[in-house]
Each structure stands twice: as C-alpha cells, then as structure tokens.
Homo-oligomer: A and B are copies of this chain.
Amino acid sequence: MADKAQPDSTPQRPAPSRRRGAALEQAILRAAMEELTETGYAGLTMERVARRAGTNKNAIYRRWPTRAALGVAAYRQFVVTNTQIPDTGDLRGDALEMLRRANRTWSSPTGGILRALLAGARDDPQLLAQLQERTADAGSAAWLTILARAVSRGEIGPEALHPRVATVAVVLLRDEFITRGYPEVPDSVLTDIIDEVYLPLLRGRGTDSPSS
C-alpha cells in the first residue's frame, strides 16, 4: 500500500481541533460558498464540501438533506443583498437604473450561481422562498419605493402602488435570462421594457378607463 498521499485538487482545510455546532456549521457553509464561487453549483458536491471544510459528509447530512438546501443556505449566508435604491429624480431614470442593476447582478458570477440555485430548487417551494428573500429584485419593496416617489412627484397616480404592478419590469427581465439564456441582456431590451411596457402601464393605470 502506498502512503496516503493524496495530491488533491480541492483544497483541504485541516481541522484545527474538533469543531462542533455553530463553528462547524459555519465552516461547512463557508466551504460550500467557496465551492459555489469556484466551480459553480455543478461543482457543489457533498464530498467536495466535506473535504474542503475538513470534515466528512456525515456532518453535512446531519444539517442539510440535499445539495440544493446546502447551496441555498450557503448563498443566503454569504450573499448580501444590495438594497440601495436609486434616486435619479424621475421615474424613468430610477426604473432604468433598477433594471440595470438587476441585469448586472443576474449576469455576474453571483447571478449565475443564483440562476443555478433557482433551477436546482425548482421543485421545492420552501427553498425557493428562502432564495427569494435574498434576491431582492423580486422584493417589491425597492420598486414600491421608487414608485412612491414618482407618485409624490405627480408622475403617476397612486393606483400604481401594487406589488404585482411594481415588479413587472424586473420580472420581464428575469424572463429574458431564464427563457433565452442571455449572458447579459442588452441595454436596448431594458429600455424597451421600460418604455413599451412599464411606463405605459404605470401611466395608463387609473388615468381613466376609456369607456368600454
């Protein structure tokens, strides 16, 4: 038998002593996030994470039942959501800026991970919900904020302050990513969404109802 030399490709963090509970949990999540950033969701395997965290699969399975759950947990822990809200002075500028940020997010490496997690958690509504919390583009709060400003400026009527209405633009953008697989959505699509759909929707709502 040769030595136990294992010229492993994956980094193996030696266990300092014997970690327990929260300490070990954090080490696992950290290793999982590193795997995600380096090799993506495809590379997130229980065995690799265990090796990298300097532990074994047992410790992981005791905490998370599936790869998807582990991935979502790691993502939630380490990806901070940018909650800044643009304030350009007018609705179109704010909305466009929001879309551009979302576009950048989705096309970034982090966004790639998010997309993969979204696909991986496809049939687990609970996990999906956990992801949504950290996605924040679907979070209607930011959109409602810029709409509220627009209302106070008199750009649109207050009827527009409806969650489903507020997030229409970003939902359309996300659809481009999911159904078309864009690496990055061209800016013309963003302006198209704003000018052809979003603004007409906001301005048209409640302005009147043309007879019918």
Contact = CB atoms under 8 A, between A and B. Distances in A.
A201 B201 contact: yes
B164 A196 contact: yes
Interface string A170-187: 011011001111100000
A181 B122 contact: yes
Contacts of A209: 203
A200 interface: yes
Nearest to A155: B212
Interface in A10-65: none
Which of under 10, 10 to 19, 20 to 34, or 35 or more describes the interface residues of A? Answer: 35 or more
A168 interface: yes
Interface in A178-207: 178-182, 192-193, 196-197, 200-201, 203-207
Given A115-B122, A125-B182, A204-B205, 20 more contacts: A122-B181, A123-B181, A125-B181, A128-B179, A128-B180, A128-B181, A164-B193, A164-B196, A164-B197, A168-B168, A168-B172, A171-B175, A174-B175, A175-B175, A178-B178, A200-B204, A200-B205, A203-B212, A204-B204, A207-B208
15 contacts: A119-B120, A128-B181, A155-B212, A164-B192, A164-B197, A168-B172, A171-B172, A174-B175, A174-B179, A197-B201, A200-B206, A203-B204, A203-B212, A204-B205, A207-B210
